[in-house]
Structure 1
Amino acid sequence: MRGISDLHHDGLVITMQISTARVLRILVDGGSSVNLIMLDVLKAMNIDEDQIIKKSNVLVGFNGETRNTLGEIYLLTCVEGVSSYERFRVLDCLSSYNAILGRPWIHNARAIPSTYHQCVKIPIEWGITTVRSDIPAQ
């Protein structure tokens, strides 16, 4: 039996199709009020910066640090047959993640993320599909 200190506390990290690219290292974060994507990821996807709607917003991180976004962009997301156009705020900074899916995506997909089970369950027409984390539960 594992002790409480042995339990993992990993974030829920998935891979999904965004626009025309398969994007790795996407954090599903129910604590985030916006969807974020990094500028470097858009460049790697060959999406021109002209497609970013210039609209700077101030984001406040959990540690109180503030950062301005470059703008926003609408991109098609698809995972396990569930597709939707999502608004992403664009950040030009270094990050451990290529994108962060916050409550807007979670609510639009009617998804139920579980960091404990390291998966996201999403209702689909013929039942429920499970998106497993890139980081397997220990």
Structure 2
Amino acid sequence: MSIDRPFAENLTPSPKKSRVEVGPALSFFDEDKVGTSQPHDNALVVTLQIRGYDVKRVLVDQGSSAEIMYPDLYKGLKLRPDDLTRYDSPLVGFDGKIVILKGQIRLPVQARLEVVEVDAYSPYSVIVARPWLHAMGTVPSTLHMKVKYPSGD
């Protein structure tokens, strides 16, 4: 053991405790189930505003990290092939089939209460997954058939 430096210099200061910011509590209550048929095992499907349009039949998939827009909605939003950026990683479905994606796109998405439907022919227009849920700070509840998120309103 070296005694070259005083003992106090060998000590490291303990880190300062950081302040923890507490946001609003997002909770679900029995009254949140009003309007739903109970008991149920339905998928959580919501309406989101995507690129300025209110889009119905958006599946909230808490078990996936892939977010998917189906071609009918892509066309309904008047998106063009040059709006896409390259995406080289294929998706593998539950049936083991490999799907090669056309590309990826970033679009503004907002949750709203008002509903105006955009024409789409698939059972779901979009699938949002964990990345969107985490980015929005949402708390989904399949029991209550709702997604809650912090907002000013």
For normalisation by structure 1, the TM-score amounts to 0.71
Residues 92-120 of structure 1: CA distance to partner in whole angstroms, max 9, x if unpaired? xx842110010010000111111111001
- Identify, as 1 or 2, the structure richer in strand: 1
Q: Which residue of 1 aligns with 2:94?
A: 62
For normalisation by structure 2, the TM-score amounts to 0.64
Q: 1:16 aligns with which of 40, 48, 69?
A: 48
1:65 Cα deviation (Å)? Answer: 2.9
Larger Rg: 2
Q: 1:101 aligns with which of 128, 133, 137?
A: 128
1:18 Cα deviation (Å)? Answer: 0.3
Q: 2:151 aligns with which of 118, 124, 130?
A: 124
Superposed, 1:1-138 pairs within 5 Å as: 7-80=39-112, 95-125=122-152
1:53 Cα deviation (Å)? Answer: 1.1
Root-mean-square deviation (CA, aligned residues, Å) is 2.0
1:48 Cα deviation (Å)? Answer: 1.3
Write the letter of the residue equivalent to 2:129.
Answer: G
Q: 1:33 to 1:113 in 2, by over 3 A?
A: same
How many residue pairs match? The answer is 109
Contact 2:72 2:122 (8 Å CA) reproduced: no
Identity of aligned residues (%): 36
